Amino acid sequence: MSSDFDFCIIGGGVVGLAIARQLSSLGSVLLTEQHDLLGSETSSRNSEVIHAGLYYAPGSLKESLCLRGKHLLYDFCQRYQIPHRPIGKLIVAQQPNDPALDQLQHKAQQLGIPLQRWNQQQLQQQEPAVRASEALYSPTTGIIDSHSYMQALTHQAEQQGALVMRQTRFLAAQQTNHDPAWQIALHTSDGPFTTSARWLINCAGLQAQQVAAASGLAATHIPDLYPCRGHYFSYSGRSPFRHLIYPLPEKNLTGLGIHATLDLGGQVKFGPDTEYLASDDLSYQVRPQLRDKFASAIRRYFPALDEQQLQPDYAGIRPKLHNASQSATDFCLRLDQAQKSLHLFGIESPGLTASLALAEWAERSVSRE
Protein backbone atom coordinates (compact mmCIF):
# COMPACT_ATOMS: atom_id res chain seq x y z
CA MET A 1 0.00 0.00 0.00
CA SER A 2 1.38 3.41 -0.83
CA SER A 3 1.01 6.67 1.04
CA ASP A 4 1.52 10.30 0.07
CA PHE A 5 4.24 10.83 2.68
CA ASP A 6 6.54 8.71 4.83
CA PHE A 7 6.10 10.99 7.83
CA CYS A 8 3.37 13.39 8.86
CA ILE A 9 4.50 15.66 11.71
CA ILE A 10 1.84 17.63 13.54
CA GLY A 11 3.11 20.87 15.05
CA GLY A 12 5.66 23.37 13.80
CA GLY A 13 7.26 24.29 17.11
CA VAL A 14 10.96 23.80 17.69
CA VAL A 15 10.57 20.06 18.29
CA GLY A 16 8.41 19.36 15.22
CA LEU A 17 10.81 21.41 13.10
CA ALA A 18 13.90 19.63 14.46
CA ILE A 19 12.25 16.27 13.75
CA ALA A 20 11.21 17.40 10.25
CA ARG A 21 14.81 18.36 9.50
CA GLN A 22 16.11 15.03 10.80
CA LEU A 23 13.57 12.80 9.05
CA SER A 24 13.61 14.64 5.73
CA SER A 25 16.94 12.95 5.02
CA LEU A 26 15.23 9.55 5.47
CA GLY A 27 12.00 10.02 3.52
CA SER A 28 9.23 12.38 2.49
CA VAL A 29 7.91 14.66 5.25
CA LEU A 30 4.75 16.69 5.66
CA LEU A 31 4.69 19.09 8.62
CA THR A 32 1.38 20.75 9.48
CA GLU A 33 1.19 23.86 11.63
CA GLN A 34 -2.13 25.46 12.51
CA HIS A 35 -0.78 29.02 12.72
CA ASP A 36 0.67 31.18 9.98
CA LEU A 37 3.85 31.64 11.97
CA LEU A 38 5.96 28.61 12.90
CA GLY A 39 6.98 28.29 16.54
CA SER A 40 4.54 30.92 17.74
CA GLU A 41 3.31 28.96 20.79
CA THR A 42 5.63 27.69 23.55
CA SER A 43 8.70 27.74 21.30
CA SER A 44 8.69 31.54 21.18
CA ARG A 45 7.51 32.03 24.76
CA ASN A 46 10.41 30.78 26.80
CA SER A 47 13.70 31.97 28.34
CA GLU A 48 15.85 31.03 25.29
CA VAL A 49 18.37 29.42 27.60
CA ILE A 50 20.58 26.52 26.56
CA HIS A 51 20.50 24.53 29.78
CA ALA A 52 23.53 22.69 31.12
CA GLY A 53 21.44 19.70 32.30
CA LEU A 54 21.86 20.05 36.07
CA TYR A 55 18.37 19.73 37.39
CA TYR A 56 16.68 16.61 36.08
CA ALA A 57 16.00 13.23 37.68
CA PRO A 58 18.92 10.80 37.30
CA GLY A 59 18.46 8.59 34.25
CA SER A 60 15.49 10.60 32.96
CA LEU A 61 14.93 11.51 29.32
CA LYS A 62 15.04 15.16 30.36
CA GLU A 63 18.54 14.64 31.71
CA SER A 64 19.99 12.57 28.87
CA LEU A 65 18.31 14.53 26.07
CA CYS A 66 19.29 17.86 27.63
CA LEU A 67 22.95 16.82 27.91
CA ARG A 68 23.06 15.47 24.36
CA GLY A 69 20.89 18.29 23.01
CA LYS A 70 23.13 20.96 24.52
CA HIS A 71 26.17 19.66 22.62
CA LEU A 72 24.21 19.25 19.40
CA LEU A 73 22.72 22.73 19.76
CA TYR A 74 26.05 24.50 20.37
CA ASP A 75 27.52 22.65 17.35
CA PHE A 76 24.50 23.57 15.23
CA CYS A 77 24.73 27.23 16.27
CA GLN A 78 28.41 27.39 15.37
CA ARG A 79 28.00 25.55 12.10
CA TYR A 80 25.03 27.57 10.84
CA GLN A 81 25.86 30.91 12.49
CA ILE A 82 22.83 31.02 14.76
CA PRO A 83 23.22 33.94 17.21
CA HIS A 84 24.01 32.48 20.63
CA ARG A 85 26.37 33.08 23.55
CA PRO A 86 27.63 30.74 26.29
CA ILE A 87 27.12 33.53 28.77
CA GLY A 88 27.18 31.34 31.90
CA LYS A 89 24.77 31.18 34.79
CA LEU A 90 24.92 31.66 38.54
CA ILE A 91 22.69 29.71 40.90
CA VAL A 92 22.63 31.76 44.07
CA ALA A 93 21.90 30.63 47.64
CA GLN A 94 20.96 32.94 50.48
CA GLN A 95 22.22 30.63 53.26
CA PRO A 96 25.85 29.54 53.55
CA ASN A 97 26.43 25.79 53.00
CA ASP A 98 22.96 25.27 51.56
CA PRO A 99 22.63 21.50 50.98
CA ALA A 100 20.86 22.18 47.65
CA LEU A 101 24.13 23.61 46.31
CA ASP A 102 26.02 20.49 47.47
CA GLN A 103 23.48 18.29 45.70
CA LEU A 104 23.77 20.22 42.45
CA GLN A 105 27.56 20.16 42.68
CA HIS A 106 27.57 16.42 43.28
CA LYS A 107 25.25 15.87 40.34
CA ALA A 108 27.40 18.02 38.06
CA GLN A 109 30.45 15.97 39.02
CA GLN A 110 28.66 12.71 38.25
CA LEU A 111 27.46 13.97 34.87
CA GLY A 112 30.69 15.71 33.92
CA ILE A 113 29.02 19.15 33.77
CA PRO A 114 31.53 21.93 34.53
CA LEU A 115 30.48 23.82 37.66
CA GLN A 116 32.41 26.07 40.05
CA ARG A 117 31.50 27.12 43.58
CA TRP A 118 31.95 30.82 44.26
CA ASN A 119 32.11 32.32 47.74
CA GLN A 120 30.61 35.69 48.57
CA GLN A 121 33.83 37.53 47.73
CA GLN A 122 34.14 35.96 44.27
CA LEU A 123 30.48 36.64 43.66
CA GLN A 124 30.89 40.30 44.65
CA GLN A 125 33.77 40.70 42.23
CA GLN A 126 31.92 39.14 39.31
CA GLU A 127 28.38 40.34 40.01
CA PRO A 128 28.41 43.32 42.39
CA ALA A 129 24.63 43.85 42.09
CA VAL A 130 23.82 40.33 43.32
CA ARG A 131 23.35 39.57 47.00
CA ALA A 132 23.89 35.96 48.04
CA SER A 133 25.99 33.90 50.44
CA GLU A 134 27.32 31.54 47.82
CA ALA A 135 26.80 30.63 44.20
CA LEU A 136 27.41 27.92 41.66
CA TYR A 137 28.75 29.09 38.32
CA SER A 138 27.75 27.04 35.26
CA PRO A 139 29.90 28.15 32.31
CA THR A 140 28.16 25.90 29.74
CA THR A 141 24.75 27.53 30.18
CA GLY A 142 24.03 29.88 27.29
CA ILE A 143 21.46 31.91 25.41
CA ILE A 144 20.22 31.47 21.86
CA ASP A 145 18.15 33.38 19.34
CA SER A 146 15.43 30.71 19.14
CA HIS A 147 13.76 32.40 16.13
CA SER A 148 16.90 32.22 14.00
CA TYR A 149 17.32 28.63 15.14
CA MET A 150 13.78 27.69 14.07
CA GLN A 151 14.23 29.49 10.74
CA ALA A 152 17.38 27.47 10.08
CA LEU A 153 15.62 24.19 10.97
CA THR A 154 12.74 25.08 8.62
CA HIS A 155 15.05 26.10 5.81
CA GLN A 156 17.09 22.90 6.07
CA ALA A 157 14.01 20.68 6.28
CA GLU A 158 12.52 22.37 3.21
CA GLN A 159 15.81 22.13 1.31
CA GLN A 160 15.76 18.39 1.98
CA GLY A 161 12.27 18.21 0.47
CA ALA A 162 9.96 18.54 3.49
CA LEU A 163 6.59 20.15 2.79
CA VAL A 164 5.82 22.62 5.59
CA MET A 165 2.14 23.59 5.52
CA ARG A 166 1.30 26.64 7.61
CA GLN A 167 -2.29 27.54 8.53
CA THR A 168 -3.05 23.85 8.34
CA ARG A 169 -4.81 22.31 11.28
CA PHE A 170 -4.69 18.58 11.95
CA LEU A 171 -8.23 17.31 12.57
CA ALA A 172 -8.03 13.51 12.78
CA ALA A 173 -6.18 10.43 11.60
CA GLN A 174 -7.08 6.79 11.33
CA GLN A 175 -5.87 3.46 9.99
CA THR A 176 -8.07 0.76 8.52
CA ASN A 177 -7.68 -3.02 8.56
CA HIS A 178 -6.97 -2.99 4.83
CA ASP A 179 -4.46 -0.18 4.78
CA PRO A 180 -1.85 0.45 7.48
CA ALA A 181 -1.15 3.99 6.18
CA TRP A 182 -2.58 6.82 8.26
CA GLN A 183 -5.47 8.60 6.55
CA ILE A 184 -5.18 12.17 7.73
CA ALA A 185 -7.80 14.92 7.73
CA LEU A 186 -6.50 18.48 7.73
CA HIS A 187 -8.06 21.89 7.50
CA THR A 188 -6.07 24.34 5.37
CA SER A 189 -6.71 28.02 4.66
CA ASP A 190 -8.37 26.82 1.43
CA GLY A 191 -10.59 24.29 3.18
CA PRO A 192 -10.52 20.58 4.02
CA PHE A 193 -7.65 18.45 2.73
CA THR A 194 -6.91 14.76 3.16
CA THR A 195 -3.63 12.97 2.79
CA SER A 196 -1.86 9.84 4.00
CA ALA A 197 1.42 8.95 5.66
CA ARG A 198 3.17 5.82 6.92
CA TRP A 199 4.13 7.45 10.23
CA LEU A 200 2.22 9.90 12.39
CA ILE A 201 4.36 12.05 14.67
CA ASN A 202 2.56 14.22 17.20
CA CYS A 203 4.54 17.29 18.29
CA ALA A 204 1.51 19.43 19.07
CA GLY A 205 2.76 20.76 22.41
CA LEU A 206 -0.18 21.98 24.50
CA GLN A 207 -2.58 20.23 22.09
CA ALA A 208 -0.68 16.91 21.97
CA GLN A 209 -3.34 15.21 24.11
CA GLN A 210 -6.12 16.36 21.74
CA VAL A 211 -4.19 15.27 18.66
CA ALA A 212 -3.50 11.87 20.23
CA ALA A 213 -7.19 11.38 21.03
CA ALA A 214 -8.14 12.43 17.49
CA SER A 215 -5.82 9.78 16.10
CA GLY A 216 -7.32 7.01 18.17
CA LEU A 217 -4.69 6.61 20.90
CA ALA A 218 -6.35 4.86 23.83
CA ALA A 219 -7.24 7.27 26.66
CA THR A 220 -5.18 5.12 29.06
CA HIS A 221 -2.06 6.00 27.03
CA ILE A 222 -2.71 9.73 27.05
CA PRO A 223 -1.27 11.46 30.13
CA ASP A 224 -3.27 14.24 31.76
CA LEU A 225 -2.23 17.78 30.90
CA TYR A 226 -1.62 20.37 33.65
CA PRO A 227 -0.89 23.65 31.84
CA CYS A 228 1.30 25.92 33.91
CA ARG A 229 1.81 29.52 32.85
CA GLY A 230 5.04 31.40 33.41
CA HIS A 231 5.04 35.21 33.18
CA TYR A 232 7.94 37.49 32.30
CA PHE A 233 8.66 41.11 33.19
CA SER A 234 11.23 43.04 31.19
CA TYR A 235 13.65 45.33 33.03
CA SER A 236 14.31 48.60 31.26
CA GLY A 237 17.73 50.19 31.15
CA ARG A 238 21.21 48.73 31.25
CA SER A 239 21.67 45.23 32.56
CA PRO A 240 22.89 45.10 36.17
CA PHE A 241 24.23 41.57 35.49
CA ARG A 242 26.84 39.87 33.29
CA HIS A 243 25.49 36.35 33.72
CA LEU A 244 22.11 34.68 34.01
CA ILE A 245 21.09 34.78 37.68
CA TYR A 246 18.95 31.96 39.10
CA PRO A 247 17.74 31.33 42.63
CA LEU A 248 17.57 27.70 43.76
CA PRO A 249 14.86 25.77 41.87
CA GLU A 250 11.34 25.43 43.23
CA LYS A 251 10.10 22.33 45.05
CA ASN A 252 9.24 19.50 42.62
CA LEU A 253 10.98 21.47 39.88
CA THR A 254 7.67 23.20 39.09
CA GLY A 255 9.82 26.09 37.90
CA LEU A 256 13.42 27.19 38.21
CA GLY A 257 12.48 30.22 40.33
CA ILE A 258 12.02 33.78 39.03
CA HIS A 259 15.41 34.28 37.42
CA ALA A 260 17.15 36.98 35.43
CA THR A 261 17.98 36.19 31.84
CA LEU A 262 19.64 38.35 29.25
CA ASP A 263 18.84 38.27 25.58
CA LEU A 264 21.50 38.64 22.90
CA GLY A 265 20.85 42.40 22.79
CA GLY A 266 21.70 42.65 26.52
CA GLN A 267 18.10 43.29 27.64
CA VAL A 268 17.23 41.78 31.02
CA LYS A 269 13.98 40.00 31.73
CA PHE A 270 12.80 38.34 34.90
CA GLY A 271 10.69 35.22 35.07
CA PRO A 272 9.05 32.87 34.64
CA ASP A 273 6.94 32.29 37.72
CA THR A 274 4.53 29.34 37.92
CA GLU A 275 0.75 29.50 37.78
CA TYR A 276 -1.27 26.35 37.13
CA LEU A 277 -4.26 26.96 34.85
CA ALA A 278 -7.56 25.34 34.07
CA SER A 279 -7.09 23.59 30.73
CA ASP A 280 -9.73 25.82 29.11
CA ASP A 281 -7.93 29.04 30.11
CA LEU A 282 -4.75 29.09 28.03
CA SER A 283 -4.39 32.86 27.77
CA TYR A 284 -0.99 34.56 27.61
CA GLN A 285 -1.97 37.65 29.56
CA VAL A 286 0.56 39.13 32.00
CA ARG A 287 -1.31 40.91 34.80
CA PRO A 288 0.48 44.10 35.91
CA GLN A 289 -0.57 43.21 39.49
CA LEU A 290 2.05 40.43 39.42
CA ARG A 291 4.74 43.14 39.72
CA ASP A 292 4.72 43.00 43.55
CA LYS A 293 5.21 39.24 43.61
CA PHE A 294 8.05 39.57 41.10
CA ALA A 295 9.67 42.43 42.96
CA SER A 296 9.78 40.59 46.28
CA ALA A 297 11.21 37.42 44.67
CA ILE A 298 13.85 39.39 42.75
CA ARG A 299 14.88 41.55 45.74
CA ARG A 300 16.09 38.44 47.54
CA TYR A 301 19.08 38.34 45.19
CA PHE A 302 18.96 41.86 43.66
CA PRO A 303 18.20 44.31 46.50
CA ALA A 304 18.75 47.43 44.35
CA LEU A 305 15.84 46.52 42.08
CA ASP A 306 13.90 49.56 40.88
CA GLU A 307 10.34 48.27 40.68
CA GLN A 308 9.37 50.99 38.19
CA GLN A 309 11.73 49.47 35.65
CA LEU A 310 9.73 46.21 35.66
CA GLN A 311 7.23 46.05 32.78
CA PRO A 312 4.80 43.21 32.00
CA ASP A 313 6.26 41.43 28.98
CA TYR A 314 5.04 38.02 27.79
CA ALA A 315 3.99 34.61 29.08
CA GLY A 316 4.50 31.01 28.05
CA ILE A 317 2.60 27.87 29.07
CA ARG A 318 4.36 24.68 30.13
CA PRO A 319 2.58 21.48 29.01
CA LYS A 320 3.16 19.79 32.37
CA LEU A 321 2.16 16.23 33.15
CA HIS A 322 1.98 16.73 36.91
CA ASN A 323 0.11 19.10 39.16
CA ALA A 324 1.48 21.24 41.98
CA SER A 325 1.25 18.47 44.58
CA GLN A 326 2.74 15.66 42.47
CA SER A 327 6.39 14.86 41.82
CA ALA A 328 8.02 16.20 38.67
CA THR A 329 7.46 14.02 35.62
CA ASP A 330 9.66 13.21 32.66
CA PHE A 331 9.07 13.82 28.95
CA CYS A 332 6.58 11.16 27.83
CA LEU A 333 7.42 9.73 24.39
CA ARG A 334 4.79 7.20 23.31
CA LEU A 335 6.14 5.10 20.46
CA ASP A 336 4.12 2.38 18.75
CA GLN A 337 6.30 0.60 16.19
CA ALA A 338 3.50 -1.63 14.91
CA GLN A 339 1.07 1.21 14.42
CA LYS A 340 3.80 3.63 13.34
CA SER A 341 2.95 6.46 15.67
CA LEU A 342 5.00 8.62 17.98
CA HIS A 343 3.35 11.03 20.43
CA LEU A 344 5.42 13.52 22.40
CA PHE A 345 3.77 14.67 25.63
CA GLY A 346 4.97 17.04 28.33
CA ILE A 347 7.74 18.69 26.32
CA GLU A 348 8.34 21.48 28.78
CA SER A 349 11.79 22.81 29.70
CA PRO A 350 14.44 21.76 28.64
CA GLY A 351 12.65 21.06 25.34
CA LEU A 352 14.37 23.84 23.41
CA THR A 353 17.81 22.64 24.54
CA ALA A 354 16.86 19.00 23.91
CA SER A 355 15.23 19.57 20.50
CA LEU A 356 18.00 18.13 18.33
CA ALA A 357 18.42 15.17 20.69
CA LEU A 358 14.66 14.54 20.54
CA ALA A 359 15.00 14.57 16.74
CA GLU A 360 17.79 11.97 16.94
CA TRP A 361 15.58 9.90 19.25
CA ALA A 362 12.72 10.10 16.74
CA GLU A 363 15.02 9.07 13.89
CA ARG A 364 16.27 6.03 15.82
CA SER A 365 12.68 5.05 16.62
CA VAL A 366 11.39 5.17 13.05
CA SER A 367 14.55 3.54 11.65
CA ARG A 368 14.05 0.42 13.80
CA GLU A 369 11.03 -0.77 11.79
Which positions touch ligand FAD (CB under 6 A)? 10-16, 32-35, 39-43, 45-49, 51, 169-170, 203-207, 211, 230, 272, 316-318, 347-353
104 vs 134 by CB, closer to ligand FAD: 104
The CA–CA distances, whole Å, from 21 to 31, 54, 154, 161 equal 10, 28, 7, 9
Cα dihedral 239, 241, 242, 247 sign: negative
117 vs 251 by CB, closer to ligand FAD: 251
N-to-C CA span, the chain: 16
The answer to whether 347 and 46 are in contact (CB under 8 A) is no
Separation between Cα atoms, residue 279 and residue 76, nearest integer Å: 35
Nearest residue to 207 (alpha-carbon basis) of 81, 41, 342: 41
CB of 40 to ligand FAD, least distance (A): 6
CB of 367 to ligand FAD, least distance (A): 21
49 vs 157 by CB, closer to ligand FAD: 49
Separation between Cα atoms, residue 14 and residue 352, nearest integer Å: 7
DSSP string of 123-185, one letter each residue: HHHH-TT---SEEEEETT-EEE-HHHHHHHHHHHHHHTT-EEESS-EEEEEE--SS--SEEEE
CB of 86 to ligand FAD, least distance (A): 14
134 vs 351 by CB, closer to ligand FAD: 351
Residue number with the shortest CB distance to ligand FAD? Answer: 351
CB of 170 to ligand FAD, least distance (A): 4
12 vs 249 by CB, closer to ligand FAD: 12
DSSP string of 258-308, one letter each residue: SEEEE-TT--EEEE---EE--TT-------GGGHHHHHHHHHTT-TT--GG
CB of 303 to ligand FAD, least distance (A): 25
Query: What is the rounded radius of gyration, in angstroms, for the C-alpha atoms of the chain?
Result: 21
132 vs 317 by CB, closer to ligand FAD: 317
CB of 285 to ligand FAD, least distance (A): 14
134 vs 361 by CB, closer to ligand FAD: 361
CB of 168 to ligand FAD, least distance (A): 6
240 vs 351 by CB, closer to ligand FAD: 351
Separation between Cα atoms, residue 336 and residue 175, nearest integer Å: 13
CB of 261 to ligand FAD, least distance (A): 7
Cα dihedral 18, 23, 25, 28 sign: negative
CB of 352 to ligand FAD, least distance (A): 3
Single-letter amino acid code for the residue at 357: A
144 vs 366 by CB, closer to ligand FAD: 144
